[in-house]
Amino acid sequence: MIYVQSFFFIMSFLFFCLFINTLLSLAKTKMYPPKNLLKQRAFIYIGIAFFFFITAWLLRYV
């Protein structure tokens, strides 16, 4: 069970890093459509990171 929990924490950290990377590249974009696409990706990445973190956190109590 600890391996599954560790896997979810690692995946959460990975998607959080992708979220930070997307936010940092958001300031560099000049055109509107890529900026809109990056905002959408950032929202998806933080949602997936939150899901993995909550899943790992809830697995502590199983």
Q: Two tokens at 34? A: 């890529």
Q: Comparing C-alpha atoms, which of 21, 32, 26, 48 is closest to residue 56?
A: 48
Mean pLDDT for the stretch of residues 4-30: 93
Per-residue pLDDT, 35: 86
- Model pTM? 0.87
Q: Is the dihedral angle over the CA atoms 32, 34, 40, 45 positive or is it negative?
A: negative
| Residue 8 in this model has a pLDDT that exceeds 90 | yes
